[in-house]
Structures are given as C-alpha cells and as structure tokens.
Amino acid sequence: MQTLAVELTTTFVDDALEFVKGLGRVIVHLATAPVERIARACDVAGVLEQRRAGRRNGPLSPFTGLSELT
C-alpha cells in the first residue's frame, strides 16, 4: 500500500513539473511572438531562415557554430 502512495505522489509531482514547464513555454512564446513577427518582416535577405536551416542539423553537428558566419 505504501508503494502505491509513493508512486501516485511521484507521478503527480512529475506531471505538475511538466505542466509548469509547458506553461512557461507558452508564456515565453506569447512574449516573444511580436518580436519574432517584426524580425521576420524586417528580414529581407532571408538571413533568419538560413540560420534556422543551419540549426536543423542538430546541436551536435560540428558545423552548427559556423552557420553564424555566413
């Protein structure tokens, strides 16, 4: 019986932490959305899209840091 109580408690805490993380992501997205729209509107040369395409290679790619130079 005690194991079930511990399992329920840890599950609840894990779910609560994930909920808070998700809520934080939503708040950050809502706060930065206007800035992103302005940046996309001002990006006439397509630099932002090139940077995003360079990052799609993954964080472990040895050339990710070099995408900022182009």
Q: Which two tokens stand for residue 16?
A: 């609560």
- Looking at the chain, the whole-number percentage of residues with pLDDT higher than 70 is 74
Q: What pLDDT sits at residue 9?
A: 92
Q: What does the DSSP 8-state code read for residue 46? A: -
pLDDT-wise least confident of 8-12, 24-28, 44-48, 58-62: 58-62
Reported confidence tier of residue 26, pLDDT bands at 50, 70, 90:
very high
**pLDDT at residue 6 tops 80:** yes
- Within the chain, where are the H helices? 2-42, 47-55
- pTM, whole model, 2 decimals? 0.54
